[in-house]
Structure 1
């Protein structure tokens, strides 16, 4: 009797955010001193247009905090990545079809933001409601190296998402 391998793909293993960093950036982040994460409550001028949303920073940060260096081996790879949403664009039904995925909650209101290689632009044509930016998501899809930029932030990667789900505990 001939046994054939299953045609059902195995579940994807979770990709760790640190895997998105080239070795040099990972080491630079590990060697970096602690930095302050100011919140809007601590700085009433946070929303001033000249401060620039996720781009805002009142500090001179090490170059690694602006790095868009990527890991070439990840380009085109199917991944499962957990993170927190920063809503960007919604469809006519109010569901978000584009959002940034970031590694920690509140990155959209903390200063400084993650580096571009720790921000992923997610494109999800089906859309989903994003009612709570502190609710973690699982995003499954194809990761691509693609620099995207808007008034909030720069992202070094994109994901063409096949599936987006709230993390259930």
Structure 2
């Protein structure tokens, strides 16, 4: 019976080309611009590129972080607006290679206004986020490197 229901569901999806494509593609790519304009992606499985700002970590293992749109966000600068910050909790700890590492996050995006207290090199900051992804999966991506040289406040921590 279960196989018949599965076959019926796949046949229905096949009649709608966009339905079958969406079912096969997995998480939908979302841009920071889309999050800023309208929360239309809330409630969907998404894939979002950004930079990891640890909130809860132990050595090089990160359990929770804020995903920010650019490397170095929030250090010596005003934080991005809440619709440009995503609180991410992980299904499994993520091994951090360096602060503000470029990552791709996949999971169910929800609209969730939250305030996080984050210890930064220039003190504790209150950061408001408008979105969250729970039980996310995270992979390293090739992106712009974190700030380098004397201007990098993390240079002493990153080894």
Equivalent residue runs for 1:19-168 within 5 Å:
19-22=34-37, 71=39, 73-90=40-57, 94-151=60-117, 152=125, 153-168=127-142
* Alignment match, 2:31: 16
| Cα drift, residue 112 of structure 1 | 1.2
| Cα drift, residue 21 of structure 1 | 1.5
TM-aligned CA distance change 1:134 to 1:86, over 3 Å? closer
- State the alpha-carbon separation in 1 of the partners of residues 27 and 110 from structure 2: 16
- State the alpha-carbon separation in 1 of the partners of residues 134 and 97 from structure 2: 21
| Cα drift, residue 150 of structure 1 | 2.1
Unaligned runs of 5+ in 2: 1-6, 15-19, 118-124, 144-159
Query: What secondary structure, in the 3-state scheme, does the structure 1 residue paired with 2:90 have?
Result: strand
- Does the CA-based 8 Å contact 2:30-2:41 persist in structure 1? no
TM norm structure 2: 0.64
Unaligned runs of 5+ in 1: 23-69
Structure 1 or 2, whichever has the larger Rg, is 2
| Cα drift, residue 144 of structure 1 | 0.3
- State the alpha-carbon separation in 1 of the partners of residues 69 and 136 from structure 2: 19
The structure with the largest strand share of the pair is 2
TM norm structure 1: 0.61
Number of residue-to-residue matches in the alignment: 119
| Cα drift, residue 98 of structure 1 | 0.6
Q: Structure with the greater relative contact order (CA < 8 A, sep ≥ 6): 1 or 2?
A: 1
- State the alpha-carbon separation in 2 of the partners of residues 161 and 108 from structure 1: 24
* Alignment match, 1:67: none
- State the alpha-carbon separation in 1 of the partners of residues 109 and 76 from structure 2: 25
